[in-house]
Amino acid sequence: MSSILNSKSPVVIKSLAKKYDSDGSNTINSFELGNLISDMGFTVSKTQVDALLMLIDKDASGSINIDEFVQWWTQTKITDVLNNQNTMHLITEASKLFKKYDVDGSRKLKQNEVTNLLRDLAQCDSTNSVKDMIASLDRTGDQEIDFHEFCVWLRWF
């Protein structure tokens, strides 16, 4: 497993993802990701697995497809993230905060959800500044803030 941990070969990583895709859906869900991480020798809670899933799930579909998994694996020092209690804590806290304001559970913050977030943080609350903020953070062009865009804004990790 340790050689796989350091592998950056898409072929190797793809086969790893397929191995853990136990229901054959071509996506990795929270349960499957949890199995993979614990087989790598890391102890993570269900909450932490869910937070990692949000991080890996770039298109905010709710699950990790093979491409998202390969992208994450090749771009991240997995062991550094999983070994670092502080990083794991911040990822988990960021996901809790995001979910708190994603009231409709769409895995994206739309304008009224961002408005609530900014009002609670006493940052700003006029419609224009909310729109400006969304425009400046929205990299995907959907006028909503996904978890990645949210994490870029937080700058916690």
Q: Which two tokens stand for residue 58?
A: 């770039």
- Closest approach, Cβ 102 to Ca ion, in A, equals 4
Q: Is 57 in the site for Ca ion (CB under 5 A)?
A: yes
Write down the least CB distance from residue 56 to Ca ion, Å: 8
Q: Hey, which residues does 64 pair with through a beta bridge?
A: 28
CA–CA dist 73, 19 (Å, integer): 15
Closer CB to Ca ion, 46 or 139, in the complex: 139
DSSP string computed for 29-81: -HHHHHHHHHHTT----HHHHHHHHHHH-TT-SSSEEHHHHHHHHHHS-HHHH
Q: Is 21 in the site for Ca ion (CB under 5 A)?
A: no
Q: Is 26 in the site for Ca ion (CB under 5 A)?
A: no
Residues of span 60-89 touching Ca ion by CB under 5 A: 61
Residues with Cβ < 8 Å from 59, sequence gap 6 or more? 65, 68
Interface pattern 97-126 for Ca ion (x via CB under 5 A):
-----x-x-x--------------------
Give the binding site for Ca ion (CB under 5 A). 57, 59, 61, 102, 104, 106, 138, 140, 142, 144
